[in-house]
Every structure is written in C-alpha cells, then in structure tokens.
Structure 1
Amino acid sequence: MRYINKKRRVSIWGASVLGVFLVAANLAEAQTPSPALLVLEKSDNMLAIVDPANLQIVARVPAGQDPHEIVASPDGKLAYISNYGGSDSTLNTISVVDVAARKALAPINLGALRSAHGLAFAGGKLYFTAETNKIVGRYDPATQSVDLVLGTGQDRTHMVAVNESLDRIVTSNVSSGTISIIEQVSLPTGPPRKTWRVINVAAGRGAEGFDVSPDGKEIWAANAQDAAVTIIDVAGRRVTQTVPIPVKGANRLKFTPDGKRVLSSGLGAGAGANLVVLDAATRKELKSLDLGGGAAGILIVPDGSRAYVAVSAKDKVAVVDLKSLEVTGYVSTGRQPDGLAWVQ
C-alpha cells in the first residue's frame, strides 16, 4: 500500500486551495473587453459577451425569455434586449444587462404593450416596436416610463430606426409588406405645434430587415419572400427600384458607415448564398458568400473594416473582412445566435 507523507499531503492540500482562490480571484478581476461583441443566443435565452481580439466568449448573462434584438446605450454600460415571443405573444418586457458587471438588471415592464422586437437608442431614449399592438414606442430611462406611443396600423411592425434629429422614425411591417415613415410635422393652422404623420410605403413581401442610408436619403428593405431589396426615396416617399438578390429568406440589411456598400443576410435553407454585398451606387452585386447555413443579425463595426453575421442555423457568428470580402473567422456560440451589438 502506498502512503502519502503527511507533510507532503498538507502541502498538496494547501497548494490546491491556493489554486482555487487564485482562479476565483482571476475570474473576479476579469473585465468585459473593450471593445466587445454582444451576441444573443435565442434558444438559450442568453447574452454572450465576446472578445473580438480572440473570438472567445468571456461571459454569458441571462437575457430573458426569447431574446431577439439588442441595442447598447451610447456609453456602452447597458444592453437592452427585446423579449419577443411572436406576434401574438403575451411577453411585455425588455431585458436590461449591466455589461461591465455582466449581470441582468430588473427588466422594463411595458404593461399592455406586447411582443417587443426592434430596438433603437436615440436622444437618450429607447425606441421599440410592439408587434401585438402595431406600434412603435419610446421609453425614457430617466423617468422609467414609456413617453410616446405611435400606431402604424400595419401587421408585424418589426424593426425600427430613428434619425439623429429625432423627427423621423422608420419601421418595417413584415406581414403588411410595408415600410412606415413616421415624421414629426408642423400643423398648418392654429398655434405653432407639431404632430406625427405616418406614411406607409408598399415595399415587398416579407419586408423585414432594413436600413436608412447614412445620408438619410434612401431606405433599403430586404424582402424575405421576394429575394429582393426594395429601395425607397425618403423625400418622395416612393419606391425607386427593386433589386433581385441571390439570398433566400433575406431578413437583415445594413449599410457600411461610408454608405458605399450594403450587406443583406438570409435565413433560407439549402445550399447557396447566405450573405450578399451590394454596391450602393450601382445597385450591383459585389460578392455573395455561403456562410454554411441560414444567417440573420448583421453588425458592422464603427470603422467599417469588418462585419459580424450571425449564422443562426449553425450556432456561430461569421467574421467578414469588408476589404477582401472574405470570411476570416467564426465565433462558436450557443443555440441560434441572432441579435448583435457592439460596445466600447
């Protein structure tokens, strides 16, 4: 029978305990990287915090039930996450995460507003869509209350964007196949005052992912059922062109920060492109990429050097170099990654 010397056994025990404390200390001292990529893992109800330098997940935080879209506050301290549940869901919350502390905070209760989905942060306030109610709302973190609700009258009001002057809101309405342009206008008579006017522009079947060009002149919308992108002139409130794209189930679309290129991803099953890159000026395809499975959320970093694309069907996020238009790496994630955000 082999024995361990008592003194040696104590030393081993002491070293083991010390090792445990050192590991715990290192974890406690670990900080959220800056910049950081935030990835929603929809089927796991989690938020993954990723270090872009090594494409590794450094932390996971509960994201509430059925998390779909995410936006960060301008200072990068908080992440807001829509808890969707589908068009007829009874879910009425937006989850909140302290990014630095890596912990979930108390969610925002939207009361009678249900199925929050699209999110945008502008002017210190959080804009959101509520599909069940066919509205876009605005939440003020300072007063912890919803201070604006605007109806679209459209089915599945899904994604939202807000301009810098805060007088124009754009939404996509998937089941109606429309884009709503909601503008603040001055009333023609009576004392000087303003109101909101809603103009719905027919886009295409399944109009969902969209973006407004950096100069504010055009809205490009991806039509999932038409395999096409609709281009809308904002000033004229009319469609100027429809561009076919080689992506099935196109559901997300983003401009590069310089406005020169447009990326659109698709959830369509089967072989073929999951991401297409278009020249914004010529409206021509520059390149299509097969990411290995249906893709959804797109995030382009502020300097426009690369894009992150959630490959939902394969539980990974692709990194695309926007100079070479090649995939340079992948982030392995939890189940069904989708919404993406960037903090720094």
Structure 2
Amino acid sequence: MYSTKSAIFQLIVLLGIAGTAQSQTRQLLLALSKADHTLAIVDPATLKIMARVPVGEDPHEVIASSDGKTAYVSIYGGGALHEINVINLVAKKPLTNVDTRPLYGPHGIEFSNGKVWFSAEGSKAVGRYDPATGKLDWSMGTGQDRTHMLYVSADAKKIYTTNVNSGTVSILTSTTVTFPNGKPREDWSQTVIPVTKGSEGFDVSPNGKQLWTAASEDGSIAVIDVESKKLITTIDAKAVGANRLKFTPDGKMVFITSLRSGDLLIYDAQSQKELKRVKVGKGAAGILMVPDGSRAFVACSPDNYIAIIDLKTLEVTGHLEVGPTPDGLAWAEQR
C-alpha cells in the first residue's frame, strides 16, 4: 500500500513539474542586420545566437506575433519596395512573403489584435495585413510625407505615426459605425499635429497619456497630450541626429538615440529634464526595452554591435554582435 501511494505521489509531482515547464514562456531577442540581410534569433539570457534567418534586401523593422511564434520584417527600400517577410520562430525558417502592393515602402511595423499593421512610406499611408486570411484588409492614407514609424494601441483602435518630412504626427482613431442593415464597419478619422521637421523616433507612454517624439534636425523633443491631441511642450534637448525614442517599461524615463553623435540621452519623464548622456558608439539607432525593466538593447549601426544598457545603473554592460549594421529590434515571448 505504501509503495502504491508513493508511486502516485511521484506521478503527481512529475505531472506538476511538466505542467509548470509547459506554462513557462520562452523569451527571444530578435535583431536585424541590414548589411547581412538576416534576422538573428538570440537567447537573451545567454546572449547566444540561436539562428540566423535570411530576409529581404533592405530590412528595417521587426515585430513578433502575440504568441511569439512568428516574426514579421518590413523590407523598406527607401519607400520603393513592397514586401514583409514572415519568419517561423519555432522552426527558425522563412515562410511565404507578404506582397504589400499597392502599398509601397513598408517601414514601421506592429502586431495588435491578431493583425500586422505597417506604415507605407512610399504611399503616404498605413496598412493592415491579416495572417488568418493572408490578405491586406485595410489601409488609410495620411497625406503626409514620409509616414515612417508606427505605434498601435492594444485594442487596435488608435494608430500613431510620425511623418518625418512633413514634421507632423498623425493620430488615426477608429469608431464603429452601424449601417441601416445592421452591419458594422470601421470608421477612421485622422488628426494631424504639427511638430518639428525631422521628427521620426517616438513612443507613447505606458499609461497611454503622452506621446514623445524627437527631431533629428534640431534635436528637440515634442510632447503631445494623447487625449486632447495637442502639443503640450517642446523640449530643447539638443539631440541632433535623433533616431529613435522609447519609454522605460515603468514610464519613468525616456531614452533617445542619436545616429549622428552616438549618444544615448536619458530623460526623466515627469520633470522632462535630462538625467544622463551615455556614449554608446559612433551612432545609435534602434532601442528595445526588456519588458521586465532590467535592460535595454541599443543598436549601434555604424559600430556593428548592439549595446546592452543596465536600466538601474544606466551604464553599458556589454555588447552583442548579430551582423553588420544592426537596427530593428523586437522581443518575442513564446507561450
């Protein structure tokens, strides 16, 4: 009797361990090499490259699906190309590409509400791809020059984008309209907010209240109130060559990279004052915040490495090499 109870107990323990293992998520760092035309899949714990998957001729941005099993890479070509690459992150191999025509120059890319959203710079528009149907199912023009970076709210009801050459930020808002026959449809409206020309990198605060964008030409930072859709203030940050901007996961700090100087500027989000400047290389571009708030990865394209920043000490703790001219970064959590 004792041995039977013992065996049952051991089986329960083993099943519990197996269930725990299955419930754990696997985290991946995704990093593009623009020169090698590859997507590196990296174990963020060991910083070991698990695989390199070939992508198109001018990869710029990457995003992962909600389940972390698929990656999508925008193939930009200065606004002339028309392709999104699809990568199976489990098998670590490319899948069938998405032809974005008639939308050209996909750049900024997001995954929200089960769909892939992208800016189409060459077409002055934003588009949407549905992986379930394999089709582009929506697009909207901005009428602005160089519709470039992109942010989509979790409920996919708001889209934010910077229009670099127009010096504007577009906020696209969706409402549901019901036809007389009872069928609903999406009704989108656009608000265009003037900022400084050259505003490119931007982010929305984790609480969804503010949008910050940095201008490469004069190095200023525009702060927009999301609810009123109005410019609150412009900070003379002297971040000339500003390329990307990201809030830390707790919303307390803002990181701005300069592709021209190689500086990483760190701002206090509440006081809007500079906390520190960190020299990360000759030029700094893509920024990725680790969701747990421990580290940030900064792609230093001219230096051919990714700088690793400790978010507590705000110091460079190491470098990661994924291939020449790294830029777009993303985080994947496989469930």
TM superposition score normalised by structure 2:
0.87
Partners of 1:120 and 1:162 within 8 A in 2: yes
Which residue in 2 is equivalent to 1:322? 311
Output the CA distance in 2 between the equivalents of 1:47 and 1:163: 25
Which residue in 1 is equivalent to 2:328? 339
- RMSD (Å), alpha carbons: 1.9
Deviation at 1:159, TM superposition (A): 0.9
Partners of 1:305 and 1:321 within 8 A in 2: yes
Which residue in 2 is equivalent to 1:45? 37
Aligned-pair identity (%): 50
Q: 1:242 to 1:85 in 2, by over 3 A?
A: same
Q: 1:282 to 1:47 in 2, by over 3 A?
A: same
Output the CA distance in 2 between the equivalents of 1:134 and 1:236: 24
Q: Any residues of structure 2 matched to 1:58-77 within 5 Å, and which?
A: 58-77=50-69
Which residue in 2 is equivalent to 1:111? 101
Deviation at 1:43, TM superposition (A): 1.3
One-letter amino acid matched to 1:248: V
Which residue in 2 is equivalent to 1:145? 135
Deviation at 1:194, TM superposition (A): 5.3
One-letter amino acid matched to 1:258: D
Larger radius of gyration: 1
Output the CA distance in 1 between the equivalents of 2:112 and 2:256: 24
Tell me the number of residue pairs that the alignment of Structure 1 and Structure 2 aligns. 307
Partners of 2:124 and 2:143 within 8 A in 1: yes
Partners of 1:306 and 1:319 within 8 A in 2: yes
What SS class does the counterpart of residue 97 from structure 2 fall into? strand
One-letter amino acid matched to 1:84: Y
Q: Any residues of structure 2 matched to 1:120-159 within 5 Å, and which?
A: 120-159=110-149
One-letter amino acid matched to 1:130: A
Deviation at 1:57, TM superposition (A): 2.1
Which residue in 2 is equivalent to 1:276? 265
Output the CA distance in 2 between the equivalents of 1:198 and 1:234: 13
Segment drifting more, 242-251 vs 167-176: 242-251
Partners of 2:214 and 2:239 within 8 A in 1: no
Which residue in 2 is equivalent to 1:289? 278
Output the CA distance in 1 between the equivalents of 2:263 and 2:323: 20
Q: Which has the higher contact order (CA 8 A, sep 6+)?
A: 2
Q: 1:193 to 1:63 in 2, by over 3 A?
A: closer
Partners of 1:315 and 1:336 within 8 A in 2: yes
Output the CA distance in 2 between the equivalents of 1:99 and 1:194: 32
Deviation at 1:186, TM superposition (A): 6.3
What SS class does the counterpart of residue 142 from structure 1 fall into? coil
Output the CA distance in 2 between the equivalents of 1:248 and 1:86: 22
Task: Tell me whether 1:35 sits opposite 2:27 in the alignment.
Answer: yes
Which residue in 2 is equivalent to 1:25? none
Q: 1:235 to 1:57 in 2, by over 3 A?
A: same
1:204 is aligned, of 196, 206, 209, to 196
Deviation at 1:248, TM superposition (A): 2.8
Output the CA distance in 1 between the equivalents of 2:78 and 2:86: 20
Q: Any residues of structure 2 matched to 1:188-227 within 5 Å, and which?
A: 195-227=187-219
1:258 is aligned, of 239, 250, 261, to 250
Q: 1:67 to 1:174 in 2, by over 3 A?
A: same
Output the CA distance in 1 between the equivalents of 2:43 and 2:161: 31
Deviation at 1:245, TM superposition (A): 2.3
Task: Tell me whether 1:164 sits opposite 2:133 in the alignment.
Answer: no
Output the CA distance in 1 between the equivalents of 2:30 and 2:237: 28
One-letter amino acid matched to 1:275: L
Partners of 1:299 and 1:307 within 8 A in 2: yes
What SS class does the counterpart of residue 179 from structure 1 fall into? strand
Runs of 4+ residues deviating >6 angstroms: 186-193
Which residue in 2 is equivalent to 1:301? 290
What SS class does the counterpart of residue 86 from structure 1 fall into? helix
Deviation at 1:193, TM superposition (A): 6.5
TM superposition score normalised by structure 1:
0.85
Segment drifting more, 317-326 vs 107-116: 107-116
Segment drifting more, 194-203 vs 128-137: 194-203
One-letter amino acid matched to 1:75: D
Output the CA distance in 2 between the equivalents of 1:82 and 1:236: 31
